[in-house]
């Protein structure tokens, strides 16, 4: 009996291996893009309404920063998936340190959006805060 080589099966195996490699490479790119969506640092701009001076401040997520009379803490920040209309959002907590009786009460404890700060505004008589970046 003469053996017949099945060349179609060999070509099919090569094609199957190529498809698996392409799918795994695509999944690696997806994982990398998901990592870029969640940042480790939040950048904000603070306006002092009395002196009319503003300052850019970089916050490490999870750590509290004392800025004059405010204790500011960024819990999490994310970038949008879409490049054509970028949206940056961050969960920010702010305490007013001038009021000693309620130092654990937050004057702002909400999500902040870079494109629409008026959705959840930071309302303070002396300071304004805007979200600028998440990296």
pTM above 0.85, yes or no: no
> Which sequence spans correspond to the domains of the chain?
7-37, 40-134
- How far apart CA 16 and CA 9 sit, in angstroms, is 10
List Cβ neighbours of 131 (8 Å cut-off, separation of 6 or more). 42, 43, 44, 77, 88, 89, 90, 92, 112, 113, 114, 117
Average the pLDDT over 65-84 and give the result.
87
How confident is the model over 30-68, as pLDDT tens digits? 544 555 588 899 999 999 999 999 999 999 999 999 999
Residue 24 has pLDDT above 90, yes or no: no
């Amino acid at each position: 009996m003469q053996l017949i080589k099945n060349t179609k099966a060999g070509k099919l195996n090569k094609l199957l291996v190529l498809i698996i490699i392409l799918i795994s490479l695509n999944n690696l790119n997806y994982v990398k893009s998901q990592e870029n969506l969640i940042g480790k640092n939040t950048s904000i701009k603070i306006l002092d309404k009395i002196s009319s001076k503003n300052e850019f401040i970089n916050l490490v997520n999870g750590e509290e920063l004392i800025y004059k009379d405010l204790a500011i803490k960024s819990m999490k920040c994310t970038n949008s998936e879409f490049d054509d209309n970028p949206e940056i959002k961050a969960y920010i907590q702010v305490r007013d340190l001038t009021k000693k009786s309620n130092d654990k009460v937050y004057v702002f404890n909400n999500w902040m959006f870079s494109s629409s700060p008026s959705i959840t505004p930071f309302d303070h008589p002396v300071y304004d805060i805007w979200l600028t970046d998440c990296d």
